[in-house]
Amino acid sequence: MTDFEKIAWTAATSLAVVLVTTLIVGIVRAIARRRKDALSLKAELAVVGDLDVLATIGCPGLVLWLSCLGARPAKIKGAALCLVGDDLLAAFQKGFGTDFGYRPPPSGADRKQTLVIGLLPLSPTNVLHGYVIERDEVCKFMLPLFTPGLLRFAQAPSEDVSVRIQFLDGHEQTVLRGLSVQSQIDALIRVYGSGHYQLRPGVTLPISIRAVSAAPPDPSAVGRINPNPVRLVDDANGNDA
């Protein structure tokens, strides 16, 4: 190899090392920037029955503390307690006394139905239709003791019970799942289940069922009021529990 070739080889090698080093530094910086920009949330669920809650809601319940830990603010619409099951819609059809037109799809996974119970907001909204939670700020929601079928959530398989938040852009994220939710439901029922409470007038709990149907739903059920109780859990006396 001539001196010129040696010089050219050395220059090419040095250039390659510089390029690789620059690429690695760029990747590291991109990963660091992505981590910095990533949404970081902390969710805590606990039994609460203080005077403020009783004055606002009328009964004890579970309070969800949702806090933002990162630089990126969380833009959320609300939070919900969710239960995945196979026969949830049947209880609603019995309560409304009509067939909603649901037809199970052929795929097994699509047959799952989700009961969604919206948590009541305890924090005032600070943007249209929701909340923007900045770093170290906290947003609170509540699930009251008088939640239909609450015992069913406690008795369901752990992997089927979760607390989810919905963002303003429509997508959802599970923030708590399984025993971390069910243990608090058990505690709420054990501590306050025998008490005499009543929801404050005007307090309403949004409840919905999500299901994939092989046929279009029956629109005649829209706007109807259920003439019968929707029993998600039946005790020995046939009462909702």
Q: What is the pLDDT of residues 130-164, one digit of tens each?
A: 999 999 899 999 999 988 889 999 999 999 999 99
Establish if 228 belongs to a structural domain.
no
Establish if 227 belongs to a structural domain.
no
- In the chain, how many domains are there? 2
Judge whether 21 and 29 are in contact, CB under 8 Å: no
Residue 21 confidence (pLDDT): 53
What is the bridge-based pairing of β-strands 113-118 and 172-177? unpaired
Same structural domain for residues 149 and 96? yes
Integer CA distances (angstroms), 92 to 74, 144, 189, in order: 34, 20, 23
Same structural domain for residues 5 and 84? no
Establish if 103 belongs to a structural domain.
yes
Residue 30 confidence (pLDDT): 47
Same structural domain for residues 112 and 25? no
Establish if 226 belongs to a structural domain.
no
Establish if 234 belongs to a structural domain.
no
Low-confidence ranges of the chain (pLDDT < 70): 1-37, 108-109, 234-241
Same structural domain for residues 143 and 91? yes
Same structural domain for residues 19 and 136? no
Residue 35 confidence (pLDDT): 45
Same structural domain for residues 62 and 24? no
| Rounded Cα gap, residues 163 and 150, in angstroms | 13
Residue 24 confidence (pLDDT): 54
Which domain does 102 fall in, by range? 40-221
Residue 37 confidence (pLDDT): 59
